[in-house]
Amino acid sequence: MRKLTKGIVPIMALALVAAACGGDDDTTSATDAPVVTDAPDTTDAPDTTDAPDTTDAPDETTAVTSPPPAAEIATDYGVTDDIIRVGLNADLSGIFAPLVTQIVAGQEAFWEIVNDNGGIAGRQVELEILDNAYDVPTHLENYAEMADTGDTGVIMFSQSTGSPHTAATAADLVKDNLLAIPLSWYSGWADPSIGANVMELYTSYCLEAMNGVEYLAGANNATTIGIVSFPGEYGQDGATGAKTAAAALGLEVVYDGEGAVVPGSDQTPVITELVAANPDIVWATLNPTTLAEILGGAYAQGLRAHWSGNSPSWNYQLLATDLGPIADEVYTHSTYTALWGAIDTTGMNAVIDGMRAKQPDAVLSDTYIISWTEGMATKAVLEQAAANGDMTRAGVVAALQDVQVDFQGLAPDQTWSGEPNDFIVRESYLYDVDIASYTAGATVSDEGGTGFVLLEGPYVGDIAANYDFQGACFVAG
């Protein structure tokens, strides 16, 4: 089912946990900030692509009855009488390969189960997976190949890794009548002038930060806040949301580090100024390596603020490092979905059972929830297009307006019709980081945990609930 139309470069030896202990491999620019969540180190993960096939696996990929396909279905590119080609323009060898390879593996398991149960409209789903190496020019080359009208052409993208990468193809997506699910939570995707054919999942960095700051301030009786972020669409989108919440709550921003943190550079000036400001709470929009350096450094100098941050800031395997006890004491993890085993729902059971059936030796990770929800959203759109009798590229884009996805408790249910204020997701999830709940080295077949206890979720504070979305919270000048 998996078809690689371009060779995968061997995964670089990047261990995020090792980097968090003092490595300096964070060389991306701030606008290339990571757009992923809970990134475990998978460089040594076993190859699970040959996991045993369970052809009788139950179809637990959707909780609602799928609409039946029309008797006659129009097609153009990416769909034949036998197959449906879905594209993943994914980082398989770049700086975020350890995470993205897991998300791709989870999608493979998801689609195997779909195919075992008859596929979509009698067609088997075939994944076209290309490696963008977390490089914008490569991403564009991959896009051109998969947007082609020949044998490598796809009907839509179930993953487009990276904010600047997806933005670089946004206009072409419209021109080519292609739909793409971004592995990025930039608030601009809900803005039709930026992301008309970008099918965002979950909430945005901006709204997530509003929820996180409101929750954190209330839980800690805070009156002051520090903000630390990368520059660019990731860092400043999150920082803008944090500032919006601070203003609404009357919090004094005693350290404004919006855009001040450059990954891979010496963070001593940031740590020194943050400690001197002595905020009650800190909101971070960073990556795990930089968070570990700044949080660990500030704690060592006596700052006892309570911290949280946009989801890509945290990596659960930091619990295996010296930062673990500090995070257990002062860090609350904010994210977009339920996490592995944290709740007992139909969707969570489907993910756990599906991964154990298809890839039993895969490393335990929360990322498979992203895999499943990406797959569920893609499946829902394709089934709606089939029901409409139009599985052309334009027909798939049009079908999005009729889709509402029940994520079975994995994430807030979602639709994409109407004005952005009508459909943007405002809820997020907040977890206590709990080192006692972390199981090092576990696989999906083990009864392990990733170190989280659910505090609130789906959670929406008053600020995010009442926010009037008029476009992206942050737009680079």
The per-residue DSSP string of 120-175 comes to BTTBEEEEEEEE-TT-HHHHHHHHHHHTSSSTT--SEEEEEE-HHHHHHHHHHHHH
Residues with Cβ < 8 Å from 127, sequence gap 6 or more? 1, 2, 3, 85, 86, 87, 88, 107, 108, 111, 158
What CA–CA distance (Å, rounded) separates 477 from 474? 9
pLDDT per residue rounded down to tens, the chain (477 residues): 655 544 333 322 233 333 323 333 333 332 333 333 333 333 333 333 333 343 344 455 554 568 999 999 999 999 999 999 999 999 999 877 878 899 999 999 999 999 999 999 999 999 999 999 989 999 999 999 999 987 779 999 999 999 889 999 999 999 999 999 999 999 999 999 999 999 999 999 999 999 999 999 999 999 999 999 999 889 999 999 999 999 999 999 999 999 999 988 999 999 999 999 999 999 999 988 899 999 999 999 999 999 999 998 998 889 999 999 999 999 999 999 999 998 899 999 999 999 999 999 999 999 999 999 999 999 999 999 999 999 999 999 999 999 999 999 999 999 999 999 999 999 999 999 999 999 999 999 999 999 999 999 999 999 999 999 999 999 987
CATH code 3.40.50.2300 region(s) in the chain? 2-203+342-423, 205-340+428-465
Alpha helices (H) along 278-345: 288-300, 324-330
What CA–CA distance (Å, rounded) separates 383 from 292? 43
What CA–CA distance (Å, rounded) separates 100 from 98? 6
**Residue 99 confidence (pLDDT):** 82
**Residue 346 confidence (pLDDT):** 94
CATH of range 205-340+428-465; options 3.40.50.2300, 3.40.50.1980, 3.40.640.10, 3.40.50.300 = 3.40.50.2300
**Residue 65 confidence (pLDDT):** 67
What 134-138 contacts at long range (C-beta under 8 Å, 24+ apart), as own/partner pairs, is: 134/28, 134/32, 134/91, 134/94, 134/95, 134/96, 134/97, 134/161, 134/162, 134/165, 135/94, 136/162, 136/164, 136/165, 136/168
**Residue 59 confidence (pLDDT):** 57
**Residue 94 confidence (pLDDT):** 84
**Residue 7 confidence (pLDDT):** 38
* pLDDT tens digits along 279-315: 999 999 998 889 999 999 999 999 999 999 999 899 8
**Residue 76 confidence (pLDDT):** 95
- Secondary structure (3-state) at 364: coil
pTM: 0.86
**Residue 54 confidence (pLDDT):** 38
* pLDDT tens digits along 157-172: 999 999 889 999 999 9
For residue 273, give both structure tokens: 């100024």
Pairing of strands 124-131, 414-415: unpaired
**Residue 35 confidence (pLDDT):** 32
CATH superfamily of 2-203+342-423: Response regulator (3.40.50.2300)
For residue 261, give both structure tokens: 């943190």
Phi-psi region at 363: left, alpha or beta (left = phi > 0; alpha = psi -120 to 50)? beta
